[in-house]
Structure 1
């Protein structure tokens, strides 16, 4: 049997070992140590990784390069094409009109856009014929915001880029395109749907969509670097886009092929509500902080709590596997959205944090795609409740 002295020593040893375990399990103070190996292996060009709470920024980390060829380090205020992260911002603007009683989510789109009256749905098709019929019900605003409308991703006339047509012209082309599925029955990821909802903003308010966004969302939130048309100084801060080369081992630069150049051109480039925005990590965090606070930030309420709940709750039926709200993906304990060049924003209400991941990648060599999740894990462990 152990005497008292031996037992005390053993107890002390157990305590010390437990403390060592706790210390070793604690996350590092900076995420750089987590992310830098991806840069060193040329699996990640560079990133701005940000964590915010309800009242402010908790951490801003930068690694790698905004421009590899010129060895330009990634700055905290780098600009990024956030692409489909625009969808959640557009849906938020739509919900402002719901709050004001100007529209209802279950209104048919054709109530505001008469060009959609008489739209048909494809019920049978092969290389020799296409059979159309009247849909079971007209497409609703809720359905265009949740990718349940049956509208295609884009129309046949949206070529070669997604920003080449005025919004009214693009939406008219959707109305002329048969629905691919019965409304409300299938999930079909659709830029056309989000753009259609944005056109309703214009019709209802009498303002251009981009002006409504600027006046009601971007300016009040202080999102001064969020724009469809980055100016010359913002273009100078735009991170280059990279993807794997032919060997799949290295990175090669490539242009934003979905958009027209020059990006500063306000004459021939048009705002694309489903994916045209450029922004910074800090600006995107402000939008997400507003959602983390259930529609309010710095004493200004943007959405009622009811509108916030609709926006961030699953709208897709149990019959489809995709969990989507209104312009936002919805997980079991988070909501947010990614972009075409791998940017991402997530709001974790229970943890009380926002996680912003800003990169410009059209694919990753090696294990580069894992960097985002590594940063998320670090952020949740370091700042989550």
Structure 2
């Protein structure tokens, strides 16, 4: 190859555009999350990015509590809300592994109160016509939000808080189905709470004790609980909502839960009652990413995990973001688009009511955990916070 003389090289360089566009460096996870704190959208956040066997980013920004100016820390405790749902589903699948139930079982096989449940055929004025459904609801229907059970508790949230899971399940069974089982996807907290009762019946012990004995203790999830102790509450991130004028944030309560949160008389809510930390959730998600085992111990069979993380709702519209399907307790990315554009097809996870998010990308061997306490988001699963975190995280793991 013939080399150009130095003078020619200099001439060539002078011919380059003087105003060639230089793309700004991508902002880091910390910078992206701090922007939401600075503009008043968030009080603070904890994010954790795990890739290819190691934590590559763990950030705590902003304040855990605005009034006391307590800084957010990596061990801050969050109400993870509906991120509880996949954990309840995991308990169900453990029982399937042991032959104590089958997800295709009719719910009435384990909970007789669901026998002869009726279906709303039509409503005319004050009159409701009830008919027998084509088939009874199954455990799988509950896991995929396709059961047709009443979407909200038939009794007020403050009362439901005091009911045992047995009593709550009876109230759901007495309510007629809203649609034929399997006909559509409709997010259903009572369905997941019913699964908690099935865990008690099939597992032979209280739902919360089952989770502690079979999931939290074996995985070392010491901070995860339905009832944070008084000393744990010192680390609890306060939940906030926008002020009426939209110019700031003000504290808000946790829906469906009466204080004090440490009161064990309050029933554990399988659909959304857990508190946890980023590090605790990582322990759970690493086990799942590893195919159901960690440190040489298997917690769930590969077959059951595959069932949990594949789409079971076909072409039904499912989830709260575009391109989603429903697994067993997990939401599953069918087509990466919008807020999931940086994720692989088959990525699975779940969000929570106050914006918390946890997603596992098995193709890229990546885990995204974002913990915030922000009520009033238009769509927690498609929030600008989630998108910003995942974009920054994806850019980070793509760096050479």
- 1:374 to 1:143, Cα distance in 2 relative to 1, 3 A: same
* TM-score of the superposed pair, with normalisation by structure 1: 0.91
CA RMSD of aligned residues (A): 2.5
Work out whether 1:340 is the aligned partner of 2:353: yes
Structure 1 residues 108, 9: CA separation in 2 closer, same or farther (over 3 Å shift)? farther
Aligned match of 2:337:
none
Residues 48 and 124 of structure 1: CA distance in aligned 2, closer, same or farther (over 3 Å):
same
Q: Say if 1:152 and 1:180, in contact at 8 Å, map to a contact too.
A: yes
Cα distance in 1 for partners of 2:11, 2:80 equals 56
Which structure 2 residues correspond to residues 30-45 of structure 1 after superposition, within 5 A?
30-45=28-43
Aligned-pair CA distance for 1:206: 1.1
SS of 1:59's partner is strand
C-alpha deviation, 1:3, in angstroms: 8.0
Q: Which SS does the other structure have where 1:233 is aligned?
A: helix
Q: In structure 2, what is the Cα distance between the partners aligned to 1:316 and 1:43?
A: 34
Show CA shifts across 1:158-193 (max 9, x none): 432653211010011111110000000011111111
Contact 1:54 1:293 in 2 (8 A): no
Contact 1:162 1:259 in 2 (8 A): no
Q: Which runs of structure 2 are paired with 1:72-151 in the superposition (5 Å)?
A: 72-151=70-149
How many residues of Structure 1 are paired with residues of Structure 2 in the alignment? 375
TM-score (norm 2): 0.88
Partner in structure 2 of residue 312 of structure 1: 309
Over 3 Å counting, the alpha-carbon distance change for 1:231 and 1:125 in structure 2 is: same
Residue pair 1:83, 1:275 contacting (<8 A) in 2 also:
yes
Structure 1's unaligned 5+ residue stretches are: none
Task: Using the TM superposition, give the Cα deviation of residue 284 of structure 1 relative to its aligned residue in structure 2, in angstroms.
Answer: 1.2
Cα distance in 2 for residues equivalent to 1:313 and 1:376: 22
CA separation of 1:13 and 1:53: change in aligned 2, threshold 3 A: farther
CA contact (8 A) 2:355 2:377 kept: no
CA offsets 1:38-57 (integer angstroms, 9 cap, x no match): 21111211000111235342
Deviations 1:6-55 (A, max 9, x none): 5655888999x9xx96xx67645x52222212211112110001112353
Does the Cα contact within 8 Å between 1:162 and 1:272 map onto a contact in 2? Answer: no
Residue 292 of structure 1, CA deviation: 1.3
Q: Secondary structure at the match of 1:346?
A: strand
What's 1:264 paired with?
262
Match of 1:325 among 307, 324, 327: 327
Unaligned runs of 5+ in 2: 320-324, 335-344
Partner-residue secondary structure (3-state), 1:139: coil
